[in-house]
Structure 1
Amino acid sequence: MLDSLLWWLTSPLDYGFMRRALAACIALSLTAPVIGVLLTLRGMSLMGEALSHAILPGVAVSFLLAGFSLPLMMLGGLIAGLVTVAMAGSISTISGLREDAAMASLFLVAMAAGVMVMSLSGSPLDLGHVLFGSILAVDTPTLLLVTLASSAVLITVAIAFRALVVECLDPGFLTLQGRHAGWFHALFMGLVVASLVIGFQTLGTLMAAGLMLLPATSARYWSRRLEGMIAIAVGVALASSVTGLLASYHLGLPSGPCIILLAGVGYLASLLAGPRGGLLQRWPPPRRRQCPALPRHRGGS
């Protein structure tokens, strides 16, 4: 039994493409959930999903102009995401519309434009690769690029962590400390875009937000402390990535959907059994205590 389990865990590592895919999964799992926790604290979870689609036009235009060049596709996706963030912020400032509502409108237009541009290449395979990713196709230069970009995002978060958290919880207090809250909000949105761009090669633009948001929302059912949520979210992402990658190899299933589905299983398990608001903690509902009836006073004449 133990030998079979050891073979199941180690046999895929005999192949170089599996080792590179595993390293890419680890790099993404150490980066995306940290951004996801900060995103959920701000109540902007759907913003991450919208931005994952908003990078598609930049990726598509870069692919159409330069072919399958990952650095240029990542640069195009980064530019498209930042432009979308700037447009959403401008619309919100000018019209008073909520930023997430403006983003929802823009990402639909951006996604349609991206699919239209990709269709001009004439290859459904290319469109599928961009939309759904291909983590098993990660080569050495791609792995190096993903690792360096993930490291840059983590270092930036570490340097500005305190200010990012304060801006998330109380922007006014950050302004009183002599720091402009708007700049840190813009920095954070840039980090969200960068994290999504890093993940599109492996998980595609449609599922890049999955590894960012699902572990982060799972962690909220296990801890109320920020450092605890970050540690749990990273652990859930690592477990989902490694197990999903191994399952996809042994069962012949697509790797990206396997990883995201396992992250979804982790979320459902947390929703059910998590000690911080899980359904089992709320069931049965506590009975409302009733005050004993007071004796009625009988007045005499």
Structure 2
Amino acid sequence: MSQLYDLFIAPFTEFEFMRRALVGVFALALGAGPIGVFLMLRRMSLVGDAMAHAVLPGAAIGFLISGLSLFAMTAGGLIAGFVVALLAGLVSRATELKEDASLAVFFLISLAVGVTIISVRGTNIDLLHFLFGSVLALDDQTLILIAVNATVTLIGLAFIYRPLVLECVDPLYLRSVSTAGGPAHLIFLALLVINLVSGFHALGTLLAVGIMMVPAAIGRFWARDITTMIVVAVIAGTISGYAGLLLSFHTSAPAGPAVILVAGVLYAISLLFGSVGGLVRQLFPGRHLEA
């Protein structure tokens, strides 16, 4: 029992930075999991990745102005994310370039600009902080920001849940019976950006979207209805956060990548044994595997 306690519980009871990190990743999973599910169902997974990189130049400009200031980097990241989303939408509507292609162009430019700014005016440590986050160094202000963003996300999704679900199932029907699709899409993009900013502070710009998309993909292998998918995604995200922090603590592996690696292991297990479309289920669809 003592060994189990030392392995699974002691790191969080004995070290405050581990408790802070645990609260942070739990709040991230709670807000980002549902967003990831809707991104996946609406075939916008790469949009999430593009938006994650779009946050970087704004945060880098905030860093230039005020250093490692939570307010400056958050405000810069939010502004950059919204600007890139707006520009990509305008380009796709004003030209023949599709939205995914315009987003790809803007996210590559944004990533290059952000890395250049940090490299020229900062240090290698600053660059690593921006790219891979600092989940083990979360302070009270950052934790409050992540928790507030998660709360806003859940409240926002509650208001637009019906049109989001209808758009995932039958977008043509939604357009024929309601005009709520457009406003719901804009609110959804706003919720996406604020969750990416939260993920940026904890996991960095390269891994922020990982806490959204990998748990969402896990949920897809265990459920058919959207509500259950969201629940599974949130559970997968919290387990990944807890196990990833333990892996980092006991092996000295980087905490952010460790969280996503654990999520990757859960994804591999789900891919093989998931009750909805898992490989084993497809290879052996016998009566003994039926739910």
TM-score w.r.t. structure 1 length?
A: 0.91
Task: Show the counterpart of 1:275.
Answer: 275
Correspondence 1:230 to 2:204 = no
Residue by residue, what CA displacement relative to the aligned partner does 1:1-44 show, whole Å, maximum 9, x if unpaired?
x3211221221121211111111111001111110000000011
Residue type matched to 1:3 in 2? Answer: S
The answer as to 2:92 corresponding to 1:92 is yes
Deviations 1:250-286 (A, max 9, x none): 2211110100000011111111111211111222699
**Structure 2 equivalent of residue 108 of structure 1:** 108
Q: Determine the structure 1 residue equivalent to 2:209.
A: 209
Equivalent pair of 2:220/2:229 in contact (CA under 8 Å): yes
Once residues 98 and 218 of structure 2 are traced to their aligned partners in structure 1, the CA distance between those partners, rounded to angstroms, is 26
Which residue is 1:293 aligned to? none
CA contact 1:55–1:77 (8 Å) conserved in 2: yes
Alignment of 1:119-198 (within 5 A): 119-198=119-198
Cα distance in 2 between the residues matched to 1:171 and 1:281: 30
- AA aligned to 2:99 is E
Letter in 2 for 1:280: V
Q: Which moved more, 1:139-148 or 1:217-226?
A: 139-148
Q: CA deviation at 1:183?
A: 1.9
Q: Measure, in 1, the Cα distance between the counterparts of 2:149 and 2:102.
A: 28
- Bigger radius of gyration: 1
* Residue 120 (structure 1) shift: 2.2
Give CA-to-partner distance per residue, 1:149-172, whole Å, 9 cap, x none.
221111111122112222333334
> What is the one-letter code of the residue matched to 1:146?
I
Matching residue's letter, 1:8: L
- State the one-letter code of the partner of 2:248: S
Question: 2:222 is paired with a residue of what secondary structure?
Answer: coil
Measure how far apart 1:65 and its partner are.
0.9
Q: What aligned pairs does 1:15-54 form with structure 2 within 5 A after superposition?
A: 15-54=15-54
Gaps of 5+ in 2: 287-291
Paired residues in the alignment total 285
Tell me the alpha carbon deviations over residues 33-85 of structure 1, each in whole angstroms, 9 at most, x when there is no partner. Answer: 11000000001111111111111110101101111111221111111111111
Which is further off, 144-153 or 216-225?
144-153
> 2:2 is aligned with what amino acid?
D
Q: Distance in 2 between matches of 1:284 and 1:229?
A: 23
CA distance in 1, matches of 2:163, 2:30: 20
Q: Determine if contact 1:29/1:234 at 8 Å carries over to the other structure.
A: yes
Partners of 1:180 and 1:236 in 2: CA distance: 31
* Structure 1 residue ranges, 4+ long, deviating more than 4 angstroms after superposition: none
For residue 4 of structure 1, what is the aligned residue in structure 2?
A: 3
Cα distance in structure 2, aligned partners of 1:101 and 1:260: 26
Question: 2:199 maps to what in 1?
Answer: 199
Instruction: Read off the aligned partner of 1:4 and give its amino acid letter.
Output: Q
TM-score normalized with structure 2 length: 0.94
Task: Report the RMSD for the aligned CA atoms in angstroms.
Answer: 1.6
One-letter amino acid matched to 2:39: L
Alignment-mate amino acid for residue 279 of structure 1: L
Shifted more, 84-93 versus 34-43: the winner is 84-93
Q: Give 1 or 2: higher helix fraction.
A: 2
- In 1, the alpha carbon distance for the partners of 2:180 and 2:140 equals 40
Of 98-107 and 124-133, deviating more is 98-107
For residues 159 and 285 of structure 2, the distance between their equivalents in structure 1, rounded to whole angstroms, comes to 44
Aligned to 2:75: 75
Post-superposition Cα deviations, 1:183-202, rounded to whole Å, max 9, x if no partner, equal: 22121111111111111111
**Mind listing any 5+ residue stretches in structure 1 that lack a counterpart?**
287-301
Say if 1:122 and 1:140 are closer, same or farther in 2 by CA, change over 3 A.
closer
CA distance in 1, matches of 2:198, 2:151: 11
Secondary structure of 2:275 counterpart? coil
Amino-acid identity (%): 45
Contact 1:167 1:185 in 2 (8 A): no
